[in-house]
Amino acid sequence: DSGVTQTPKHLITATGQRVTLRCSPRSGDLSVYWYQQSLDQGLQFLIQYYNGEERAKGNILERFSAQQFPDLHSELNLSSLELGDSALYFCASSPRAGVGNTIYFGEGSWLTVV
């Protein structure tokens, strides 16, 4: 158990809908990351927050947004969902923002768009 908690574990929703994925980082970790894993794209970095502030942005679609709250939990909002958004979404956390900090992954949220 990495200590990173993600909910829900599984989610099935229809095209055009909006969903929110929730992440609780490891206790004390200030940095949160979101990754998308799909068969054709592998593990793709979406966005990073550090202590409530956006730190880095990757290949995140404009339909997607995220935030980190004062209690350090994070949410990833996916809207106007398309079939191609079906993937496993991982949240990860690390103690600080800096090279060499071990990044711990949660078990992911499986999103299926039908």
Partner 1 sequence: QQQVKQSPQSLIVQKGGISIINCAYENTAFDYFPWYQQFPGKGPALLIAIRPDVSEKKEGRFTISFNKSAKQFSLHIMDSQPGDSATYFCAAQGGGNKLTFGTGTQLKVEL
Residues in contact with partner 1 by the rule CB under 8 A: 2, 4, 31, 33, 42-43, 45, 48, 55-56, 58, 90, 92, 97-108
Q: Taking the complex as a whole, how short is the minimal distance between the CB of residue 102 and partner 1, in angstroms?
A: 5
In angstroms, give the least distance from the CB of 42 to partner 1: 5
Q: For partner 1, which is the closer residue by CB, 42 or 70? A: 42
Query: Could you tell me the sign of the dihedral formed by the alpha carbons of 19, 66, 104, 42, in that order?
Result: positive
DSSP lists the bridge partners of residue 111 as 11, 87
DSSP-derived 3-state class of residue 85 = helix
Residue placing its CB nearer to partner 1 in the complex, 67 or 95:
95
CB of 45 vs partner 1, minimal distance in Å: 5
CB atoms within 10 A of CB 54: 12
Q: What is the DSSP letter of 16?
A: T
User: Quick one: which of 109, 29, 113, 42 has its CA closest to 71?
Assistant: 29
Q: Which is nearer to partner 1, 56 or 114 (CB)?
A: 56
Taking the least distance from each CB to partner 1, the nearer of 85 and 94 is 94
CB of 17 to partner 1, least distance (A): 25
Euclidean distance between CA atoms 12 and 92, whole angstroms: 22
